[in-house]
Structure formats: structure tokens, C-alpha cells
A = this chain, B = another copy of it.
Amino acid sequence: MRMEDMILVSIDDHMIEPPDMYRNHVPAKWLDEAPRVERNEQGLDQWVFQGEKTTTHFGLSATVGWPQTEWGYNAGTYSELRPGCFDVHQRVRDMDANGVLASMCFPTMAGWNARTFTESRDKDVALVMLQAYNDWAIDEWCGTYPGRFIPLAIVPMWDVELAVKEVHRVARKGCRSISFLETPHVQGFPSFLSGHWDPMLQALCDENMVLSLHIGAGFDVIKKPAEAPIDHLMVLACQISAITAQDLLFGPTLRRFPDLKVALSEGGIGWIPFYFDRVDRHVENQAWLHDGDDFGGKLPSEVFRDHILACYITDPSGLRLRDRIGVDIIAWECDYPHTDTTWPRSPEFAWDELQQAGCADDEIHKITWRNATRFFGWDPFKHTPREQATVGALRSLATDVDTTRMTRQEWRERNEAAGIGVF
């Protein structure tokens, strides 16, 4: 097996939604109330919904086209971005250039957990827009290129019965997962342990869909010092996946829903062997707390493996201990267009790391596509024959794609001259 023979399915990428995304998906009578992009007094593009500027912006979320020295806190204009951030045609070409067969994309303007809609004033309007969002994501973004995207939706967190209905609605459209808040209790919602979310979890089980819990939204679960630099958030985000796993594993959630599948998106894998050592010894050592039936006669690590997909971008130590994690629950991610992405050299990066960890060919296939596609119930070869799905085959289609990183100013001049990113 050579690097070119790998098949890459990434279950963590992101869309920077284009300003016209609502146009085709909101009924005419609501169209004036749809979220819209305004250029603010600093000349930066920002989403506005119900009179409020959304808290999410795309400065640090769309750095893929820029050299590191251009990164920073400030949002920009669409025209400063590499077009693959917001244009699905360009996105697919960027995937080809990076040898990536398929991608699951998380929201930006909506917040990873529909926060933009959940925090809005008028929930009737919010529901219309949330559904339009999902229709755009599933029918338009994913639907334009069958076989290239795993559809992911968001749900109205403000009403669990509405969330149940939305799960069933998007399932009928072929959606395979929802993005949800890893630690709901830190944003004022009931926790996973409370039972409040059970009807929604049941709906996911009924539809064989995955609960995707992306790192970041639950960061406030850590009470950080007032003086903590932004590094804290970036470095410690994955520690929260361990906390999330603990909530699910030692709360009743995973035991109550034997069919529930949870992806710890961008959670990393290197913390898992340590966590397994700890939980397995814990239930043995603290016998006064656990009578052996709490985990159905299994070890906590086995229950974890029955339910959870562990997702990583780069994780050399974790890969070295893949036998202790379970090579069937590890899945690779690309994270385009965020700062952590390995684009456009994901094949080289992933291959080197897998080789250094001594992975056999079948382990590489499991990690780069088999585990993810099995877990998400998504056939990678339905639209693309296997021989056309490899890194080598896809890259051969995209030899003309320019992957050069350029300054914001260079992108802006170039894009605006071509009418790209101008809405």
C-alpha cells in the first residue's frame, strides 16, 4: 500500500455559509426575516438575525487560505477567504486536491449547536430558519455533489419535542447525524444525565443516526483563571471530550440507549488509554459503588467502545496506543478550513503519522474511512467506484488547483476582480 492508495473520509470539516444560503429554502413570507450578512463599520462581514449580530464569526474559522502570520481574531470579508470555504464547487475541488473522498461539515453561522437560533427572540421564526438551514446543508451543499458529503443537521435545542421532530424530518432526507452540545449544562440546558434529552436520543437510535459532539462549544465546563490566554481554549478543548465521555458513561445515557452512537468530533484519541485505565480500575477498585451490573457485565471501556467513535486530526501518541483504544473506533479528520487542518497535505501528514505508529494496511483503512463510514451508516462507494476514491485518483483530477497560501489582501484583490465572495 502506498500513500496514494489511501481513501480519506473526514468527519470533521466546516462550512462558512454563503450569504445567499437562505434564498432557496425560506418560504417567501418569511424571507425578509432570514439571517443576512451585513458589512459592519469596520468593513467586516457579519451575520445578523432578528436584529442581533451573531456571536460566531469566521476569522479564526477560515484560515485555510492564509499564511500563519495572517491569522488572528478579526473576522474578515467573504472575498478575503479561500473560496472553498463557502463555495461548494470550489470545496469539492479543494477536497480533490487533498485526496479527500468525503467530508462531514459542521455549521459556522448557526453555531455548532444552533446557538444562533436558540438564543434568538422569536422562536417561531427561529424554527423556520433552522429548518431552512438544514435544507440548505443537506439538499444544496451536500446534494450538489452526491457521494462527497455526509449530511449533518442541527436541532432546536429550546424544545426537545421539536428536536425529535427535526431528527425524523432530516432523517427522511438522508441526514446521518446531528451536531449537538457536548456539555449542555454549561449553557443553561439540562445535562445529559437529567433524562431531558432522552426522547431526542431515542429518535437518533430509531433513525440509526449519530450524535456528533464537537469540541469547543462546551469549553465553559472548565473554570479557567481570569488571566488565561487563548491558548488555554485551544490546548484544553480535548480534555472536555473526556469530561463528556464521563457524563455519558457514568450517567445513565449509554446504558439506557444500547444503540446510541456518539462521535467525539475533534476530541482527539491520546487521552483515551489513560481514561480507560482509570475507569476500568475504578469500577473494580470501588466495588462499593459498582455492583458489576452497572455496565451490563462489561468493563466501562468496553461500553465506551460499543458506542463512541474517537476522532482525531493529528495524534502520534494516541496512534501508538491504538491497541489499547481499539482500532475499530478511531477515525481521521481533516478540519478544513480551521487552523488545525492539515490541508492541502493531509495525505502526506496522515500517512507519515500512521507509518511512524507502525499501522498495518488494514488499520490504515479502518482509521481513514472504514470506521467512519460504518459508524455513520454511509456507503462511500455508492456514487464513486472504489478505484476512483483513492488519494491518487482524486488528486489526478485536481492538478490545476492552486493551493498557495496568500494574504487576505491578495485574496481580496483576486476574488473581487473575479466577482467571487461578493454578494
Kindly list chain B residues whose C-beta atoms are within 8 Å of the C-beta of A246.
231-232, 235-236
Interface flags, A263-294, vs B, CB<8A=1, else 0 = 00000101101111111011001111100000
A229 on interface, CB distance cutoff 8 Å: yes
Q: B282 touching A235 by the CB < 8 A rule? A: yes
Interface flags, A234-263, vs B, CB<8A=1, else 0 = 111011001100110011000000000000
Complex Cα–Cα for A324 and B315 (A): 12
Instruction: Determine which of B273, B285, B287, B320 lies in contact with A69 in the assembled complex, contact meaning CB atoms within 8 Å.
Output: B287
Instruction: Determine which of B69, B222, B243 lies in contact with A288 in the assembled complex, contact meaning CB atoms within 8 Å.
Output: B69
Q: B289 touching A227 by the CB < 8 A rule? A: no
Complex Cα–Cα for A276 and B227 (A): 22
Chain B: which residue is nearest A225 at the CB level? B191
Give the oligomeric copy count: 2
Known contacts A239-B242, A270-B273, A288-B68; A226 and B191 CB within 8 A of each other: yes
Q: Tell me how far the C-beta of A318 lies from the nearest C-beta in chain B, rounded to whole angstroms.
A: 6
Kindly list chain B residues whose C-beta atoms are within 8 Å of the C-beta of A71.
286-288
A196-241, CB < 8 A from B: 220-232, 234-236, 238-239
Q: A226 touching B288 by the CB < 8 A rule? A: no
Known: A191-B226, A238-B278, A239-B239. 10 other contacts (CB 8 A): A68-B287, A71-B288, A231-B250, A238-B274, A271-B274, A274-B274, A274-B315, A274-B318, A277-B314, A277-B318
List 10 A-B pairs, minimum CB-CB distance, nearest first: A270-B274, A191-B225, A273-B317, A193-B227, A68-B287, A71-B288, A231-B250, A185-B225, A193-B225, A271-B274
